[in-house]
Amino acid sequence: MADVELPDGRHLDHTVIRLRPVAVAAVVNERDEVLLLWRHRFITDAWGWELPSGGIGEDEDAAVAAARELEEETGWRPGPMKLLMAIDPMPGISTSHHRVYWSDRAEYIGPPADDFESARREWVPLARVPDLVARGEIRSANAIAALLMLHHLRQD
pLDDT in tens, 108-139: 999 999 989 899 999 999 999 999 999 999 99
Residue 126 near residue 34 (C-beta atoms within 8 A): yes
Specify the pLDDT at position 67. 98
Specify the pLDDT at position 42. 93
Specify the pLDDT at position 127. 96
Strands (E), 67-109: 76-78, 82-87, 98-103, 106-108
pLDDT at 4 over 70: yes
Whole-structure pTM value: 0.90
Label residue 1 exposed, middle or buried (CB < 10 Å: 0-12, 13-18, 19+).
exposed
User: 3-state class of 143 per DSSP?
Assistant: helix
38-42 average pLDDT score? 95
Residue 67 near residue 78 (C-beta atoms within 8 A): yes
56-67 average pLDDT score? 96
96-116 average pLDDT score? 95
Across 8-12, 82-86, 151-155, least confident range: 151-155
At residue 37, φ and ψ (nearest 5 deg) are: -105, 135
pLDDT at 33 over 90: yes
24-39 average pLDDT score? 97
Phi-psi region of 66 (alpha: psi -120 to 50; beta: other; left: phi over 0): alpha
The vertex-1 CA angle with 14 and 143, nearest 5°, equals 70
Half-sphere exposure of 32 (CA within 13 A, CB side): 13
The band of 1, judged by pLDDT with boundaries at 50, 70 and 90, is confident
The band of 155, judged by pLDDT with boundaries at 50, 70 and 90, is confident
- Amino acid at position 136, single letter: G
Specify the pLDDT at position 108. 98
Cα–Cα distance measured from residue 22 to residue 3, given in angstroms and rounded to the nearest whole number: 26
